[in-house]
Amino acid sequence: MIGTVNAMLLFSWGNWPKVYEFNRRPGRSLIEPFKRRIAELAADLGEPRRETRIAWYPHLEEAACWDRDSKTVVLVREPEGRCGARIVLWCVAETERAELVEAARTRAARADHLEQEFRRCVGVMSEVGRNKFLRRRVLTDDLAAAPVRADALLARLLTDPDAIARHLASDLTLALGGVRALPRVVPLFDDPEPWVRQAVIESMAGYGDESVVDALLRKLRTDADPGVRGEAAYALGHVGSPGAIPGLIHALDHDKEFNDLGHSPSSISATALDNLLGTHQTRIHHGDGLCSMAPWKADHDLLKRVARELYERWQAGGSS
């Protein structure tokens, strides 16, 4: 982290949000990883200004801010349950802060035009530009302020003819509803567009629980697109259910087809098993989602043996 923040300030075009999402597991606290992120940034930027309320970022538990000329580096811990369990690192320009404040001031006036705002955001999502995160944030706040109407709107947009609209609707449905919204987005696992299926299934790494394991295993076995199958394996590794182990081992042994990025469901399944077991065969885990590539060749036979042992204990009702 040291040295990277100032470099991003110099060479990026404004906001570079980095969102750390955490699985909602009982007893998991965001406070400790939040403190560690502050320490990492402070090594580069110095001690921050602490905040519990920011006018242009109304939904937060606590924040650390660093002022840099016309920009603010802000690390925010959001409340559990609003947008999942997450920490957001954002570099915000003065113009963006002003836009967020104005959006908050005029939110009530836009409440009657939620669908128009949604369509405007869809247009931004389809463009290459710097304000995607900003526009999505404003829309999320608008929807959160009108939950009943937002619920009805998003339910309809999940089946919209526009693939970008379906994707954004699923993203916002999960952001606002968390795990309670899973039954509403799981049908998009079978979306006609492979990239939509891939994006929705990838989001299960942050929001999925035991209720989606069977659906993810089905996609891992049967989807025609190797990118989708790979994302199913990735999500299963983060959900962490031992019930996924046989499916992941089968994909590791047999599914060698490469996606557009040169990854196969086989290699991703190995990493998923590593995540599920908490071992270090494919990557070295440093905690809180941070990892580095292992300098050794992964021992897949050992990985599968340990996984089978866990699966057998799980089936027998023993400790996982």
Place of tokens 């040295």: 3
**Residue range 108-131, pLDDT digits in tens:** 888 889 999 999 999 888 776 567
**Residue range 57-98, pLDDT digits in tens:** 888 889 999 998 888 999 999 876 655 667 889 888 888 889
Cα separation of 224 and 222, whole Å? 6
Question: Mean pLDDT throughout 283-287?
Answer: 63
Helices 265-277/300-315 angle, 10° precision? 60
Low-confidence winner among 241-245, 266-270, 288-292 (lowest mean pLDDT): 288-292
In 3D space, the residue among 251, 250, 245, 299 whose CA is nearest the CA of residue 276 turns out to be 245
Cα separation of 128 and 149, whole Å? 30
* pLDDT tier for residue 1 given thresholds of 50, 70 and 90: very low
pLDDT above 80 for 34: yes
* pLDDT tier for residue 285 given thresholds of 50, 70 and 90: low
pLDDT above 80 for 23: no
**Structure tokens belonging to residue 248:** 């992941």
**Residue range 143-157, pLDDT digits in tens:** 988 989 999 999 999
Average pLDDT over the chain, rounded to an integer: 86
Question: Mean pLDDT throughout 199-204?
Answer: 95
Considering the entire predicted model, what is its pTM?
A: 0.83
Domain segments of the chain: what residues?
A: 1-95, 106-192, 196-320
Q: Answer for the pair 113, 138: CB distance below 8 angstroms, yes or no.
A: no
pLDDT above 80 for 25: no
* pLDDT tier for residue 195 given thresholds of 50, 70 and 90: very high
**Residue range 215-242, pLDDT digits in tens:** 999 999 999 999 999 999 999 998 999 9
Predicted pLDDT of residue 162:
96
The letter for the amino acid at 93 is A
In 3D space, the residue among 278, 197, 204 whose CA is nearest the CA of residue 235 turns out to be 204
Q: Answer for the pair 95, 118: CB distance below 8 angstroms, yes or no.
A: no
**Structure tokens belonging to residue 264:** 């196969």
Q: Which residues does residue 71 pair with via DSSP β-bridges, in sequence order?
A: 68, 93
Concatenated DSSP letters for 141-205?
A: HHHHHSHHHHHHHHHHHTT-SSHHHHHHHHHHHHHHHGGGGHHHHGGGGG-SSHHHHHHHHHHHH
Burial 138-157 (b: 16+ CB within 10 A, else e): bbbbbbbebeeebeebbeeb
Q: Answer for the pair 280, 286: CB distance below 8 angstroms, yes or no.
A: no
In 3D space, the residue among 110, 85, 111 whose CA is nearest the CA of residue 29 turns out to be 85
Cα separation of 37 and 261, whole Å? 30
pLDDT above 80 for 10: no
Burial 174-188 (b: 16+ CB within 10 A, else e): bbbbbbebbebbbeb
Predicted pLDDT of residue 2:
45
Q: Answer for the pair 219, 189: CB distance below 8 angstroms, yes or no.
A: yes
